Structure 1
Amino acid sequence: MIAAAVLTLLLVVSQLALSPGTSQAQPEETKKGEKIYVTPDNLGDGAKPPQPVGTSWLVGDLDTGELQVAQNIDKKHAPASTIKLLTALALVDVLDDPKQKVTAEFEDMEIDGTKVGLMQKNDYTVDTLFHAMLMSSANDAANALGRAAGGQEKAVALMNEKAQALGMTNTRAANTSGLDDPNQYTTVADMMKLAWAVTKNPRLMEIIGTQTYKFPGGTNPETKKKFKGYEIQNHTKIVGRVDGGLGLKNGYTTTAKGSFIAVAERDGRTVVSALLGAENNSRQAAVDLLEWDFAQTSPQTVTTVPVGAAAAPTPTETASGSGGDAGGAADADAVSATEAAQGSSTVTAIGILPLALLGGGVLLLVAAIVFWVRLRKRHRALS
């Protein structure tokens, strides 16, 4: 009985240790037998559009909102690090001095996922933190910017206010980094609205268009040893690699899968592609959608997403939709966890099961030990 209990505990602990987290920066290797996205042989005029492997995607004219491809564009899904574009847009006006110093704290260092390497008790400029967040998708930088803007709660409220102002009615932010949260979600239609707003902000576009950046060194507060700075790269790999590429943002978590927003401009036309829940090759699929769209001489509009002034809510809509926290809390309460972020409930269930088994294993082990002790006492009494 004791052996069985110990075996149960070992199995559960092993499962907990080996289960994938929800905040890894890079996707796992493609599983055997999984459908893999491959660039079509023909992306030219009149060819069929690419078919990414994922939940939803679109491609179309960013200025008019006219889409040539639309797949589940209003389906809510976890955004991963693409939400950092909303973080940047919401905080860039609050943190309007690029030279403002922000002291890193331990909470920045211990955050999950991709990090640029902030060192506690070292000072970084707001400009440096924005570069780290948008170029390297650094969660520690996103967390530090949230603190600088008045704390995470205030930063998230500003993000939701900004989303509401842009008409992103199917988006809700829960953190500044994009780490998985059942109350954080967006749609590719809302991502298009976000992309439009970001491209109209010169300061953010200058950062997003930066390919390499010298990240500063500092001093280890414990050892007092100085460390050198290092170069960081732009993870999105659109600027300088795609003809007319303006960039924007990539993202990945185990729950959200791949997410991507890519924008390019050619011959006076700006095209955006956006994907959510991409199983693999999200960047390649986003780029292929752009290339296909630019190649069409007479593209057919399948639907239109209102962007810019057309997407902004009326004063009546703003008043009725403000809720109690300026972030649409009533909306979030009305949406189930499954609708809010596909897969989050699955991750939660996977996380609860081993914990329940662990608790049962502990109880079984305790019961086995008590039984064994009593048996030993009885044996001694009889002898």
Structure 2
Amino acid sequence: MTRDFRTRCRRATRTAAVAVLATLISLSVVTLPATAQPVVPLAPGTPTAKPSASPDATESPEPGGREASPFQGPVGGESLAELDKVIVDPDAAKEPPDVDVKSYVVADIDTGEILAAKNPHLRLPPASTLKTLTALTLLPRLDKRARYTAVRADADMEGSKVGLEADRIYTIDQLFYGLFLPSGNDAANALANASGGMDTALGLMMDEAARLGAYDTHVVNTSGLDEPGQVSSAYDLALFARAGLERPDFRKYASTLRYDFPGRNGKTFQIQNLNDLMTEYPGAIGVKNGYTTKAHHTLIGAAERQGRRLVVSLMRTDSPSWEKAADLLDWGYSVAGDITPVGTLVTAKDVTQAVEAQTAALTPTAGPNTAPAEAPTAGADGATGAPTVGAAPPVDTTVAVLPRALQRLPLWIWAALVLFIVLASMRVYGYVRSRRQSDARTRAVARG
């Protein structure tokens, strides 16, 4: 009886352990996609890095911005260093309109020529115009068909939202619509999570800003909400718009007026583009508006007329910001082609050449009479005179999200896992004990 009882106990324990393990595995497979982000492959690019420490001030009168710039003088041209005055060709047939804007840039998107500017490198809070950098950074890295399950932190974001609900599944494509049209801070947080977490997203954004020459920008979140140290400039915002409008997907999101967003019970609700320039200005093609208490109203506006595309970026102004952007765009179209540019929007190629020249200047030369090279100055024509350098070799990177997903497993699954471990330990203990008893009986018989 004792042996039969032990046999039945072992069989019961084994059956229970197998059942618990199978249940745990099945529940894990079912639960993980509903509580965690998918593993999203990153496109080839530069290795990610955590953002540097935030600046002490959220506003700086210094036109040069960060020390990381490889250019000598202000990025885009020496004249862009002037403060608190409108920078424009003195021989222009017509001066820019007198708009109540702390900082702005008016530029040609295709040539990069800056037609006029005011405090272009002044570092100010960007509000939701920062979402252009978020999109520009993550669009090439996230599969728009991938599914993402919103978490409570997304739904609890403050400020403007698209209306994400925790535990509801959305596609990356839908999140980008939510980022652009209603300027959803919840969508911005979700996209950061989908890219591997906020730290990863911020590191990528800082890398992208440096790649484009946006050295006035420092990011603390992906939404543009006010936080100490989060700054950008009208010059940098123009860079983001110009780079973004080169991408068809960016143009699509930035110019969409209405979109049916998924809601409850399989229904949808309509979201609308909050950028009034899109509906009020003929030929408008984007890009993004913003507002916070510290930033006031900010706006990046772009338009196309008769084959010419212009962009205007505004920082720290009052509502309605679109009217001031419209006045500056009208002026730009009236003088474009007949005005001497005061600077240029640098390109990623200009930045690469400047970095290469700077590196060469710091490298000891073999000849004793060889003069060291100087770091290039990005003048009004954007030329640096440095040799062209290829892009960095691609890096195959994958975002790992499993540890974070495991941390969000329900408590009862962890309890089941503990029960399984206990049962398995009992089974092992019983097996070892029975073997020892059997060996002892064998030795006793041998001695007898």
Kindly indicate whether residue 320 of structure 2 is the aligned counterpart of residue 281 of structure 1. Answer: yes
- Contact 1:237–1:247 at 8 Å: present in 2 too? no
How far is the alpha carbon of 1:318 from its aligned partner? Answer: 9.1
Give the match for residue 162 of structure 2.
Answer: 116
CA contact (8 A) 2:245 2:251 kept: yes
Residue 298 of structure 1: CA displacement? 5.4
Determine the structure 2 residue equivalent to 1:293. Answer: 332
Is 1:57 matched up with 2:57?
no
The equivalent position to 1:207 in structure 2, one of 253, 258, 282, is: 253
CA contact (8 A) 1:68 1:299 kept: no
- 1:345-356 residue pairs with structure 2 within 5 A? none
* CA 144–318 in structure 1, closer or farther in 2 if over 3 Å, else same: farther
**Bigger radius of gyration, 1 or 2?**
2
* Distance in 2 of aligned mates of 1:298 and 1:206: 28
1:151 pairs with 2:200: no
Instruction: Give 1:88's aligned residue.
Output: 135
Across the aligned residues of Structure 1 and Structure 2, the Cα RMSD in angstroms comes to: 2.1
What is the correspondence of 1:303-342 to structure 2 with a 5 Å cutoff?
303-309=342-348, 311-313=350-352, 314-316=354-356
Shift of 1:168: 0.6
Tell me the CA shift for residue 319 of structure 1: 7.7
| 2:301 is the alignment partner of 1:254 | no
Q: How many residues align?
A: 268
| TM value normalised by structure 2 | 0.57
| Structure-2 residue corresponding to 1:140 | 186
Alpha-carbon separation, structure 1, partners of 2:345 and 2:284 = 23
Letter in 2 for 1:116: V
Contact 1:53 1:280 in 2 (8 A): no
Q: Give % identity.
A: 38
Equivalent position amino acid for 2:130 in 1: I
Aligned residue for 1:372? none
C-alpha distance 230-153 of structure 1, shift in aligned 2 (>3 A): same
State the secondary structure of the residue aligned to 1:185.
coil
Structure 1 residues 318 and 166, CA, compared in 2 at 3 Å: closer, same or farther? farther
Partner of 1:160 in structure 2?
206
- Do the aligned partners of residues 63 and 298 (structure 1) sit closer, same or farther apart at CA in structure 2, a change above 3 Å counting? closer
Structure 1 residue corresponding to 2:171, chosen from 121, 125, 136? 125
- Alignment check: 8 A CA contact 2:114 2:345 kept: no
Residues of 1 paired with 2:271 and 2:358: CA distance? 40
Name the CA distance, whole Å, in 1 between partners of 2:107 and 2:94.
16
Question: Equivalent of 1:70, from 117, 128, 152?
Answer: 117
Quote the offset at 1:269 in angstroms.
Answer: 1.2
Secondary structure of the residue that 1:183 maps to in structure 2? coil
Give me the whole-angstrom Cα distance separating, in 1, the residues matched to 2:125 and 2:357.
Answer: 25
Q: Residues 172-225 of structure 1, C-alpha deviation per residue, up to 9 Å, x if partnerless? A: 11110000122111111111111110010111111112110001113xxxxxxx
Amino acid at match of 1:300: I
8 A Cα contact 1:65 1:307, kept in partner: yes
In structure 1, C-alpha distance between the alignment counterparts of 2:158 and 2:279, rounded to whole Å: 30
Asked if the contact 1:156–1:174 (Cα under 8 Å) also holds between the matched residues in 2, the reply is yes
Gaps of 5+ in 1: 1-44, 219-225, 321-383
> What is the CA deviation profile of residues 112-166 of structure 1, one whole-angstrom value per residue up to 9, with x for unaligned ones?
1101111100001100000010111000000001000000110011111000000
- 1:133–1:141 CA contact under 8 A, matched in 2: yes
Deviates more, 1:109-118 or 1:227-236: 227-236
Distance 1:187 1:207 in 2: 23
Distance 1:317 1:230, change over 3 A: farther
Give the drift of 1:255.
Answer: 0.2
Could you tell me which amino acid in structure 2 is paired with residue 206 of structure 1?
A: K
1:265 and 2:304 aligned: yes
Q: CA deviation at 1:239?
A: 3.5
Q: Distance in 2 between matches of 1:286 and 1:236?
A: 11
Supply the AA of the counterpart residue of 1:216: P
Distance 1:319 1:84, change over 3 A: farther
3-state SS of 1:248 partner: strand
Q: Distance in 2 between matches of 1:125 and 1:139?
A: 16
Counterpart residue identity of residue 234, structure 2: V
Q: Is the 8 A contact 2:161 2:183 kept in 1?
A: yes
Shift of 1:311: 4.2
Amino acid at match of 1:175: N
